[in-house]
Structures are given as C-alpha cells and as structure tokens.
Amino acid sequence: MTHELIAILQAQLTAREQGLRTVLATVVRVDGSSYRKAGVRMLIREDGLTTG
C-alpha cells in the first residue's frame, strides 16, 4: 500500500469517528501534460478538508 493510500484511509477513519461524510475522487483520464497521472485519489470531507 502506498503512503498516499494509507493517509487517505486514516483520514477516512478519522472523519467517520467525527461523524463527517466523505467522498473519494479518482482521476480517470488526463489529456495533455499534468503533474498527477490517472489513478490518483483524493478524499474530500464535508467540511472541505482534503487528503491526497
């Protein structure tokens, strides 16, 4: 498991303990040059905090 995925999972557990809803966003396609590639993920909490 990558460090990034571990951080996302830990953030999800913390949010769940706090009663916050989350969504997991995944980049599925990139056109042109990009700093991040397809497959990268980000956890977004309902309070706006992001991880990943």
DSSP letters along 18-52, please?
Answer: TT--EEEEE-----S--SS-TT-EEEEETTS-EE-
- The owner of tokens 């956890």 is 43
Q: What is the pLDDT of residue 38?
A: 94
Domain membership of residue 34 as a residue range: 3-51
Pairing between β-strand 22-26 and β-strand 50-51 as defined by DSSP bridges? unpaired
1-52 pLDDT tens trace: 789 999 999 999 999 999 999 999 999 999 999 988 999 999 999 999 999 9
Pairing between β-strand 41-45 and β-strand 50-51 as defined by DSSP bridges? antiparallel
Q: Count how many domains the chain has.
A: 1
Q: What is the pTM of this model?
A: 0.86
